[in-house]
């Protein structure tokens, strides 16, 4: 059913893409342009890792030759969508209110006017259905971006994401690729209540075939989004609800970030702190206090939640011999638990102290602000943990 709907949608999308590029009289050349776009996308997708490998560090690449431009994180995501949709007519967006409303956090603002209602498709409140339509569209050659208005809502699409999105490439014997991006806001916001404060990293990490990344700055948000769209694999992009208004200068020139690469945020000697998403900022706040106390923490934003960048992580551990993991995910079965297991399996001989992991409490997120803060790791806890590790 999803495949049949996707087939008709594919026809309509290709037509809409051509119409936006040229007058209707140019319709006979449509199939040629779409085929060329697909070839271009395949070539670009295969070059993602190679191009990222020669990319300089985040600090260096953020310095654009022309000075760059300042954007908020949600605007960086929007720039990535616009650039990829202009480049490739097979890229399309599905989700609730992604069209003329512009998305719940305005990531898709103005895209419906630019690309038409069929490439930026408003869907009913039916997550399992439009996630399935996205999988079917990917099977038929499109590159859909499925937005969950809130990551918690995607639990309703878990069957499509798990049994179809993650596994169809394998269960079809390689006949189908599923180049789909699943994205949306999540994490503990400001008094959003338990249902709207979900962290689904732990739910999705066990699904075979999925890649997972978490953005934390405007720079890596744009770079990861572009890389995810070009990837031949299904990618889940986690965006934190409290980071959309972060501002940063990013390059005017095109760039991408490697989907499998961690980011060195702060070099140090005494302890390796591994974190991602919003907790990056809690860690950096704690780092200022730690430096004043005489500690020299090394901070790594792991970014790639699946697979882990064990090369970068391992090199750091071989230098510091101590590890602290800081996450907003739940403690039981979270990203931190998987990361700790991977470190023990691969770098046990380099550790001089037990690995510590600071995670959110295993409770529904309260609505009351003071209780909400108590469930999430705070900078003072990070400082205390480092002091304990380095005794």
298 labelled catalytic: no
pLDDT band at 191 (very low <50, low <70, confident <90, very high): confident
Q: What is the Cα–Cα distance from 148 to 284, expressed in whole angstroms?
A: 29
For the chain, residues classed under CATH 3.40.50.970 are 68-251
- pLDDT at residue 133 above 80? yes
Rounded to an integer, the average pLDDT of 77-99 is 97
Percent of the chain with pLDDT over 70: 83
User: Using one digit for the tens of pLDDT, what is the confidence trace for 98-107?
Assistant: 999 999 899 9
Which residue would you say has higher pLDDT here, 30 or 263? 263
The catalytic residue among 79, 96, 127, 147 is 127
> Residue 66: its pLDDT value, please?
60
68-251: which CATH number, 3.40.50.970, 3.30.70.930, 3.90.180.10, 3.30.470.20? 3.40.50.970
Rounded to an integer, the average pLDDT of 134-155 is 94
- pLDDT at residue 156 above 60? yes
User: Using one digit for the tens of pLDDT, what is the confidence trace for 348-372?
Assistant: 999 999 999 999 988 898 999 999 9
User: Using one digit for the tens of pLDDT, what is the confidence trace for 293-348?
Assistant: 999 999 999 999 999 999 999 999 999 999 999 999 988 999 999 999 999 999 99
147 labelled catalytic: no
Burial of 214 (0-12, 13-18, 19+ CB in 10 A): buried
- pLDDT at residue 285 above 70? yes
pLDDT band at 128 (very low <50, low <70, confident <90, very high): very high
Highest mean pLDDT among 2-11, 45-54, 310-319: 310-319
Radius of gyration of the chain (CA): 21
- pLDDT at residue 27 above 70? no
- pLDDT at residue 167 above 70? yes
- pLDDT at residue 4 above 50? no
CATH architecture of 263-390: 3-Layer(aba) Sandwich (3.40)
> Residue 58: its pLDDT value, please?
44
Strand 120-122 relative to strand 181-186, pairing:
unpaired
User: Using one digit for the tens of pLDDT, what is the confidence trace for 54-78?
Assistant: 333 444 444 445 689 999 999 999 9
> Residue 222: its pLDDT value, please?
98
Which residue would you say has higher pLDDT here, 307 or 195? 307
> Residue 193: its pLDDT value, please?
85
Rounded to an integer, the average pLDDT of 248-262 is 97
The catalytic residue among 14, 169, 196, 282 is 196
> Residue 51: its pLDDT value, please?
36
- pLDDT at residue 44 above 60? no
Q: What is the Cα–Cα distance from 237 to 212, expressed in whole angstroms?
A: 6
pLDDT band at 196 (very low <50, low <70, confident <90, very high): confident
Average pLDDT over all residues of the chain: 86
Burial of 341 (0-12, 13-18, 19+ CB in 10 A): exposed
End-to-end CA separation in angstroms for the chain: 60
pTM: 0.84
For the chain, residues classed under CATH 3.40.50.920 are 263-390
């Amino acid at each position: 059913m999803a495949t049949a709907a996707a087939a008709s949608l594919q026809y309509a999308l290709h037509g809409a893409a051509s119409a936006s590029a040229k007058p209707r009289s140019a319709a006979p050349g449509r199939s040629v342009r779409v085929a060329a776009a697909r070839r271009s996308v395949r070539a670009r997708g295969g070059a993602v890792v190679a191009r990222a490998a020669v990319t300089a560090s985040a600090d260096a690449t953020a310095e654009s030759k022309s000075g760059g431009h300042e954007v908020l994180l949600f605007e960086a995501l929007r720039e990535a969508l616009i650039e990829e949709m202009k480049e490739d007519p097979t890229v399309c967006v599905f989700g609730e209110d992604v069209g003329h409303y512009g998305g719940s956090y305005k990531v898709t603002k103005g895209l419906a006017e630019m690309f038409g209602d069929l490439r930026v498709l408003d869907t009913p409140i039916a997550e399992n259905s439009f996630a399935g339509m996205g999988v079917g569209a990917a099977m038929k050659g499109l590159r859909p971006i499925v937005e969950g208005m809130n990551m918690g809502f995607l639990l309703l699409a878990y069957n499509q994401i798990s049994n179809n999105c993650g596994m169809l490439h394998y269960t079809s014997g390689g006949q189908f690729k599923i180049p789909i991006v699943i994205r949306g806001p999540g994490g503990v916001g400001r008094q959003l209540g338990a249902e709207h404060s979900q962290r689904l990293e732990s739910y999705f990490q066990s699904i075979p075939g999925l890649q997972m990344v978490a953005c934390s700055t405007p720079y890596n948000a744009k770079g990861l989004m572009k890389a995810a769209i070009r990837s031949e694999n299904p990618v889940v992009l986690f965006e934190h609800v409290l980071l959309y208004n972060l501002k940063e200068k990013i390059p005017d020139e095109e760039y991408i970030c490697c989907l499998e690469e961690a980011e060195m945020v702060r070099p140090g000697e005494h302890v390796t702190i591994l974190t991602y998403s919003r907790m990056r900022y809690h860690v950096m706040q704690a780092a200022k206090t730690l430096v004043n106390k005489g500690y020299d923490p090394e901070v790594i934003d792991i970014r790639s939640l699946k697979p882990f960048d064990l090369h970068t992580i391992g090199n750091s551990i071989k230098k510091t011999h101590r590890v602290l993991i800081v996450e907003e995910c739940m403690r039981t079965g979270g990203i931190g638990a998987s990361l700790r297991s991977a470190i023990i399996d691969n770098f046990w001989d380099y550790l001089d102290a037990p690995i510590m992991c600071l995670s959110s409490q295993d409770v529904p997120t309260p609505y009351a602000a003071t209780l909400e803060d108590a469930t999430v790791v705070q900078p003072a806890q990070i400082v205390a943990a480092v002091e304990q590790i380095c005794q």
